[in-house]
Amino acid sequence: MKSKNTLSGTLQKVYDPSSFRRLGHEMVDLLANHLESMQSEAPGKVLSYQNPAEELAFWKDHFAGDHDMSDTFSTIFAKSIKVHHPNYIGHQVAVPAPIASIAGMLSDLLNNGTGVYEMGMASNALEKVITDIVNSAIGFPKTAGGFMTSGGTLANLTALLAARKAIVSENIWEEGHDQPLAVMVSEASHYCIDRAARIMGLGTKGIIKVPVDAQFKIRTDLLSEYLEKAKADGLQVFAVVGCACSTATGSYDSLEEIADFTKTNNLWFHVDGAHGGGVVFSNKNRSKVNGIERADSVVIDFHKMLMTPALTTALLFKNELDSYETFSQQAAYLWNAEKAQEWYHSGKRTFECTKLMMSIKVYSILKAHGQEVFGENYDHLYSLTASFSNILKNKPNFTLLVEPESNILNFRYEPKTKEDLNLLNEEIQKQLVEAGNFYIVSVVLSGTRYLRCSVMNPFTTEAVFDKLLNEIHDIGNKFL
């Protein structure tokens, strides 16, 4: 096609289609080779660790040097952790389905703003298609609705704002509030709930942390006592948050019992299902979230076990009207009818003004592979983690924290002769990362440090886990 591009100099180069085509093809080759290598017998290292000062010095040098873009991209690639590697068993980050990454490329070039309908017709409509599918998997009634937003942290804050408006006062957005307010949540909840409550001005008193049991699930038998105590302290509790599941141990709260409690006490019931809520797509594991359909709002991250690149989150409401009430903002240059419930202007209901075309990534997985693949991934990862737990229990000097309910496994290396086991396990995790053959993390629970695996990658196997334990044993023994 003959170009009408009359720009000169650098701007002409910036938008040059032929260099985009050349680099794009090279990039696809680089990434396809990478996927092949990750699925081969010899995938190499998960990461080539360098300390932050060396890494920064490297990039400063690189910036000053003479490198073309092919070289730049392959260097960034080489110096990044590989989540598709079977030995990646670390943080709860999705191992993206390649089709969703291709959709990401489409999204990044089209760059539709999405908050306003015309600035993302396809992406807004697809948000509705996707949230309808998720609502139906949750078991919500026809009144349900939802939208997509940038991450579980933001979605949890948005849900709590909606809860406050629904339970405390309709005019809270205009008038603020004088009375001390509070939310109740398990002490094992993700830190973003605590952060959301503080952003909302609730302060330390306003985040009531209910103790957990030996399985790290919220003690529902204590909910009434904690509510009464809050009232006696002059606090108005407006919401209870259930974890589905918790971050540190992957434990599912009893959602049925929280639903009973919130119903009796006229409180908002929010489910933080950022990590484990997608289990609604599984027949086998669906019962872990029984009662989720009784929640007022639910957060589910696609960028965890639903194989979508970050950030891609759904916030679902049992009663869609609640989702329109959260923000009552004047923005005449964006929307004509402030109060109208227009699903197609997704920015009316989200924090974001400009928003990624995140729905197209999820849609591409659904369209190419069907929604069953979501349940299949959950089932596969959960049963793999159960096998890991069995392997671990048969290894001397390893202790399991708690039987895994999801894809998260916490354990310790505990040789009989070593006194400071916290330090030993901390050192083991550090040395594992520096060696780069495996990636796992660690967590401190009630003063005890555990090694922590999140099994995110369907290509991880029992043999990988066995090798990991051997490497831990070898590192640990160097300290004895």
Ligand X SMILES: Cc1ncc(COP(=O)(O)O)c(C=O)c1O
Interacting residues with ligand X (CB under 6 A) = 92, 151-153, 190, 192, 247, 272, 274-275, 301, 313
Least distance in angstroms from the C-beta of 303 to ligand X? 6
Closest CA to 313 of 321, 303, 324, 305: 303
**Shortest distance, position 289 Cβ to ligand X, whole Å:** 13
CB 133 within 8 A of CB 140: no
The tokens of 136 are what?
């139906």
Q: Which residue is nearest to ligand X (CB)?
A: 152
Rounded least distance, CB 297 to ligand X, Å? 13
Closer to ligand X at the Cβ: 124 or 313? 313
- DSSP string across 166-202: HHT-TTHHHH---S-EEEEEETTS-HHHHHHHHHTT-
Q: Which is nearer to ligand X, 297 or 313 (CB)?
A: 313
Least separation in angstroms between residue 185's CB and ligand X is 11
Residue 272 C-beta: closest distance to ligand X, Å: 5
Smallest distance, ligand X to C-beta of residue 373, A:
21
48-83 burial code (b ≥16 CB/10 A, e <16):
ebeeeeeeeeeeeeeeeeeeeeeeebeeeeeeebbb
Residue among 89 and 235 whose Cβ is closer to ligand X: 89
Kind plus residue range of the DSSP H or E element containing 292: none
- The closest alpha carbon to 210, from 193, 190, 188, belongs to 188
Nearest to 350 by CA among 114, 63, 110, 47: 114
DSSP character at residue 267? -
Q: Which of 215/437 has CB closer to ligand X?
A: 215
Strand order from edge to edge, sheet including 448-454:
398-400, 408-413, 448-454, 441-445
Write down the least CB distance from residue 387 to ligand X, Å. Answer: 23
Would you say 156 or 323 has its CB closer to ligand X? 156
Residue (456 or 468) nearer to ligand X, CB: 456
Rounded to whole angstroms, the Cα distance separating 317 from 290 reads 17
Taking the complex as a whole, how short is the minimal distance between the CB of residue 262 and ligand X, in angstroms? 19
Q: Is the dihedral of CA 169, 175, 181, 182 positive or negative?
A: positive
* Residue reference for tokens 């090279």: 26
Nearer to ligand X, 296 or 335 (CB): 296
Tokens of 418: 């070593």
Cα distances from 455 to residues 93, 381, 461, in angstroms, run 10, 6, 10
Q: Output 391 or 441, the one with its CB closest to ligand X.
A: 441
Q: Which is nearer to ligand X, 82 or 190 (CB)?
A: 190
Do residues 164 and 172 touch, judged by C-beta distance below 8 A? yes
User: Which residues, 6+ apart, have CB-to-CB distance to 24 below 8 Å?
Assistant: 105
Cβ 351 to ligand X shortest distance, Å: 12
